[in-house]
Amino acid sequence: TLRMLVPALLLLFLCLRGRAGGLPHFLQQPDDLVVLLGDEARLSCALGAYRGLVQWTKDGLALGGERDLPGWSRYWISGNAASGQHDLHIKPVELEDQASYECQATQAGLRSRPAQLHVLVPPEAPQVLGGPSVSLVAGVPANLTCRSHGDAHPTPELLWFRDGVRLDGTTFHQTLLKEGTTGSVESILFLTPSSRDDGATLVCRARSQALPAGKDTAITLSLQYPPVVTLSAEPQTVQEGEKVTFLCQATAQPPVTGYRWAKGGSPVLGARGPMLEVVADASFLTAPVSCEVSNAVGSANRSTALDVQFGPILQAKPEPLSVDAGEDASFSCAWRGNPLPRVTWTRRGGTQVLGFGPTLRLPSVGPEDAGDYVCRAEPGLSGRGGGAAEARLTVNAPPIVTALQSAPASLRGPARLQCLVFASPAPEAVVWSWDEGFLAAGSRGRFLVETFPAPEGRGGQGPGLISVLHISGTQESDFSRGFNCSARNRLGEGGTRVSLGRRDLLPTVQIVAGVAAAALTLLMVITGVALCCWRHGKASASFSKQKNLVRIPGSSDGSSSRGAEEETGSGGDRGPIVHTDHSDLVLDEEGTLESKDPTNGYYKVRGVSVSLSLGEAPGGGLFLPPPSPLGPPGTPTFYDFNPHLGVVPPCRLYRARAGYLTTPHPRAFTSYIKPTSFGPPDLAPGTPPFPYAAFPTPGHPRLQTHV
């Protein structure tokens, strides 16, 4: 405790000694000071126990020891020097007075702490570029610049106000002088004015510590803006075909200079004013009407769509489908209408509704589902629109093969067999098969295959083909065996059996009897000719230049201008021309050759009357030309009389009769002309397009008759 008291007592002693002896010291030192430009600044300094020289320094520069500080007109020192008061005064304060000041007792070697003098310079009223009335364009971004000039200190803050509310969206920029002092500051306000800003007042305020209330500068906005458009339609909901009036109204600065109307983006020609009248149709529902209004600043437009009620209009037809049996099928069609149309699905030819709406789904289809499906929409409230669209469903399945009716054939003659094939997808090939083999196309021995497109079958059944098997020179085995017609596609195979029918010729006994009767008739003719020549001689009546004719019942070639001696056939002999296989000629009781039916009514052949003239060959005897090699062996001989038809016969047996055909010989035969090529099958008129329909094959008519 004693050790702590000793230092304390020593310190107290020294203090008492200093106060009693008077060592120089500062009683008051200057403090930092802030003063406005033009005001008075006072820096205090007081010394104790000092009677010597006191001076002030400014930034280290001595101002002098006199009280009036010569050379510094605005500076002086005040206070009672005897009491040690030495205050520094500056009036009026200028910006250059801002510095660091010290109070010094030079003889005592004392210096006060430095005191900083701050001079505040209030800002001047700011300037807004383009003011006091600034012209802007509505909708166009713009910049408003507020600038503060002078030596304001500290640097002023520039603020924007509208109706007492501070505005955001500004930037601040400061320009410095060379000495580092402030030159000017500016603030830029970014804004996009609208037509509502026309006539608005904006304030730019410059404030700082030197002027907390700040100084304001106001400007007025003068807005130019493009038209503000409103568009209306009367009535807004309308039936198709009714009139509608559109009214386009606009406000603009500067005034409106023009109107332009468009529909769905395409100009409406001839429309220039603020009103447009149209007749509504379905297109106005999706193609709105727009009005564009222009002035010197720009343009603006508005559009509106009408609620047009109209009947259904087809937009997308259903597409044909081809699916395999067992798969699902789906059709779609699109109708447009206001209100939305009611869509139904049916099958062509039927009345049952299969579904509603734009889509029809058929699960697990089979061949019986193939056909045409109809998408139908009923007319609208106005009675307009509506209709139907259809698409075909093709069901892919194994081929369906059907045998067609074929004409019967005779032994060793030509034959033709036919089958009808419907398949989807189309068959890879149609094959005919029999005991010895098979044939799909071309020829093989006595067989030839041809394929033709068939008439359209039942809807959705797929394309049809008719395959024809030609047989040249049929044999006995062809009538007893069957022929198979088959077809294959990727889904399977189908086939049918086709049989060849037989047509019998005349019985052999009748043929032999006919030949015998013909020989007897020939003998009788030769005898008659011989009697004629013996009776009349070579100088008998003159030869008639008229050609001898064979009477064809029903002929109309007889002429009334012939002589009275010419006979005419009775009306009962007139009738259609008939052809026979064989005929025999015999003399009746009046000496006229009469024809007989060698078939005894098998072919119902009618007889014909024959009148002929025969001559003698040179040297006497019956005149006969050389035989012709025509006809198969064993048949009666043909004679060619063409070179002798102009020779005058040596005697005359009977006169020619009107309506008779010239005949050179009382014997002739009937033959058939065999076709040299095969054409497509002949379908009987009215044959229905159905896979099971039969297509008859016409037989070849007889083309030539000999009597």
Range of the structural domain that residue 388 is part of: 313-395
Of 19-23, 84-88, 176-180, the one with minimum mean pLDDT is 176-180
**Residue 507 resides in a domain:** no
Residue 5 is predicted with a pLDDT of 60
> Using one digit for the tens of pLDDT, what is the confidence trace for 565-601?
333 333 333 333 333 333 343 334 344 334 444 444 4
Nearest to 408 by CA among 399, 420, 417, 396: 417
**Domain at 33, CATH number:** 2.60.40.10
Question: What phi, psi does 101 have (nearest 5°)?
Answer: -115, 145
**Residue 610 resides in a domain:** no
**Residue 630 resides in a domain:** no
**136 & 186 share domain:** yes
**364 & 424 share domain:** no
Helical (H) or strand (E) element with 7: helix 2-21
Decide: 604 and 511 in contact? Cβ < 8 Å.
no
In 10 A of CB 64, how many CB atoms? 14
User: Whole-angstrom Cα distance, residue 92 to residue 38?
Assistant: 5
**48 & 144 share domain:** no
**131 & 54 share domain:** no
Across the beta sheet with 127-128, the strand order is 127-128, 142-149, 182-191, 170-176
Mean pLDDT of 180-199: 79
Question: What phi, psi does 64 have (nearest 5°)?
Answer: 125, 165
pLDDT tier at 102 (50, 70, 90 boundaries)? Answer: very high
**Residue 609 resides in a domain:** no
Burial of 587 (0-12, 13-18, 19+ CB in 10 A): middle
Q: How far apart are the first and last CA of the chain?
A: 185
Query: Is the backbone of residue 139 left (phi > 0), alpha (psi -120 to 50) or beta?
Result: left
**Residue 111 resides in a domain:** yes
Tell me: pLDDT of 289 over 50. yes
* Number of domains observed in the structure of the chain: 4
> Using one digit for the tens of pLDDT, what is the confidence trace for 141-162?
888 999 887 778 788 888 899 8
Q: Which of 477, 499, 521 is the last residue of a domain?
A: 499
Tell me: pLDDT of 698 over 90. no
> Using one digit for the tens of pLDDT, what is the confidence trace for 592-641?
334 444 444 444 444 433 333 333 334 444 344 444 444 444 444 444 44
Task: Find the DSSP H helices in 175-313.
Answer: 283-286
Question: What phi, psi does 673 have (nearest 5°)?
Answer: -100, 120
What are the C-alpha distances in Å from 600 to residues 434, 504, 607, 650? 40, 17, 11, 36
Q: Which of 395, 419, 449 is the last residue of a domain?
A: 395
Q: pTM above the 0.85 mark?
A: no
Q: Which of 376, 395, 414 is the last residue of a domain?
A: 395
